[in-house]
Amino acid sequence: LALGGAANVAQNVVALGARARLVAAVGRDAAAGQLRTALDHLGASTAGLVEVDRPTTTKTRVVARAQQLLRFDEESDANLDDAEALRIKNAVALAVDGAHALVLEDYEKGVLTIDVIDFAIRHATERGIPVVVDPKTRNYYAYAGATVFKPNRRELQVARGTAKDFDADATLLAEAADMNVGALLLTLGEHGMALAERGAGVVHRIPTTAREVYDVVGAGDTVTAYLAAMLAAGATAFEAAVVANFAAGVEVGKSGAATVSAAEVRAAYDQHVAG
C-alpha cells in the first residue's frame, strides 16, 4: 500500500517536519479506511476527508523487475455535485483557518471544481497565506490569484499551445501575467526548473541537482510539498524553488513515490557545494 495523489503530497509535507491536513473526497469503502489508517500513522490530520457517493480513487500496479507492466484504476472523475462540493468547501475553510500555506493538487478527479478552486484561493488570500497549485489541463485557467503555479512542460504546452517558445523568458513572464499568478514555476525534468516571477519581471533558471535518476514517479509531489513548506516558513518563491529542486534531486534517486526528509535535502546541498 502506498499513498498517492494529494495524499503523497501530504506525506511529503510530514516527512520534511511540517504538519498537513488533507482535504479530499473518499468513498464509503475499505480503501478509505486504509487511507485514514495510513494518514493517522503519519500523523497527518484526517479531519478534512469527506465521504461521497463514489469509490476512493485506487490504482493497482503490476510490476516486474522494477518495471510497471499494467495499472488498474478504480475511480470516478465526474465533478462533485453541489452538496458534496459545499462539504469540501467547508472542510477547506476549516483547514485554511489553521494553516500557513494551501496546496491545490489537481488530478482531474472532479473534486477541484471551478467553484471549489475559487473559494479556496479567495479564502487563503483573505488570510494572507500562500497558495501553491499543481494543475492539470481541465481547469487550467481557474487558478488566478495563486502564489506559485507549477505545471510541467507538457501540461503547459497542452493548455497553451505548442507553437509558443517556452524556452524564452518573455514567454514565461507573459504566461504568468496571463494566468494572473504571482509566479510560474515550470518543471523541466532533467533540465531542472524555470521560475518566472511576475512582479520582479525576472526568470530564474534552476538546473537539476540529481546525480542519478532511478524513478521520476512522485518527484512533482515532492516539489509541491517543499514549495508550500518553504513559502509557509517565509521563504521567497526563488528560495522555495531552489530547495524544492534539491528535494526533487533526492527523490528521483529512489524507487516509486518516495518521501524526502529535510536532512536528506541538507546533505544533497552540502554534496552539491562540495562538488
- Spatial CA neighbour of 258 closest among 249, 270, 267: 249
Q: Give the chain's length.
A: 275
Query: Exposed, middle or buried: residue 220 (CB in 10 Å: 0-12, 13-18, 19+)?
Result: buried
Q: Is 227 exposed, middle or buried (0-12, 13-18, 19+ CB in 10 A)?
A: buried
77 an active-site residue? Answer: no
Paired sense of beta strands 24-26 and 49-51, if any: parallel
DSSP string spanning 111-140? SS-HHHHHHHHHHHHHHT--EEEE--STTG
Q: What are phi and psi of 231, to 5 degrees?
A: -65, -40
CB half-sphere exposure, 149, CA atoms < 13 A: 30
- Strand order of the sheet with strand 102-105? 102-105, 131-134, 148-149, 183-187, 193-197, 202-206
Q: Out of 29, 73, 178, 221, pick the active-site residue.
A: 221
Cell 530547495: give the residue: 243
Q: Active-site residue numbers?
A: 221
